[in-house]
Structure 1
Amino acid sequence: MKNKTKWKVDESHSEVGFKVKHMMISTVKGAFEDFNATVETENEDFKNANFSFTAKTDSINTKNDDRDKHLKSEDFFNAAKHPELTFKSKSYDGDKVVGDLTIAGVTKEVKLDMDFNGVAVDPYDQTKAGFEISGKISRKDFGLTWNAVTEAGSIVVSDTINMAIDLQFIKQ
């Protein structure tokens, strides 16, 4: 059996972001500020690597304190009861990563686009690998169903969440 190479996330060069439509006329961006990710791989191309990810739900930041407080409440993430969201990969073929995403205690299999941007050695002699992950999930699949309707009949929060995740890992 080959040795597995372990990688840990480089938080200062990574971002876990998302975008969601607000009232179907504008896009709100947000991110989780407190997260961790690791990779174990046997291959330089990272195919079939094991990706693991956690984010603290109370670290959500949409640059609006009232909205962030609402997102942490029982209407959405219920951060007091479900302090983390997690992802564990099942497969990665070089284009798509498939795995179990758990949000607010509900686990669903998701398939996301994942671009491997390569490996490089930084000026401090650390070997790093970069990935860009994108895809769409339905928040309602995870029980995040709160919504409201404006007087004009527009839905306040879209069901579709667009993931925008940039991760850089440091070889251990």
Structure 2
Amino acid sequence: MTASAIVYTSATGFTARYAQLLARKTGLPCLALERAKELPAGTGVVYLGWLCAGGIKGLKKARKRLAVRAVCAVGMAPSSPEVVNKLAGQNHLEGLPFFYLRGGYAPEKLPGPYKLMMAPMTKAVTGHPPKDENEAVMQEAFRHGGDWVDEGALAPVLAWLEGS
């Protein structure tokens, strides 16, 4: 296994839950990015970060000190090849194993600046009748939150860890 630890950044708890599930399944230590300084520089890690405007929070900071061997982005939208390819390109993940995990949205837990940032997006998403069931689900999540954390979504990450 090329990773010796799991490191994550989480704002509302969904990414932390995935990181803890992954740690339980693998036996690897799991640390929030702020605590990752406890690891020796260059330690190989699986990094999990939440998505904000297409960026994976904390990834740049993790890459400065740790050897990021794989990346998991946790977002609100359903997974699709288009989403995965776009995120991989935006975050310069060429050559790194990259996994997208659908997490959730908890507007009541967002830190202040992110609440302000999400207010216009919530209006834009919810300000019209939904076109289909997926859009209705997203509108409901923007209004009241949603939780899609699924232990089964970690299967590709676990398979990569077992094969690396």
TM-score (norm 2): 0.31
TM-score (norm 1): 0.31
Point out the structure with the larger helix share: 2
Point out the structure with the larger strand share: 1
Larger of the two Rg values belongs to structure = 1
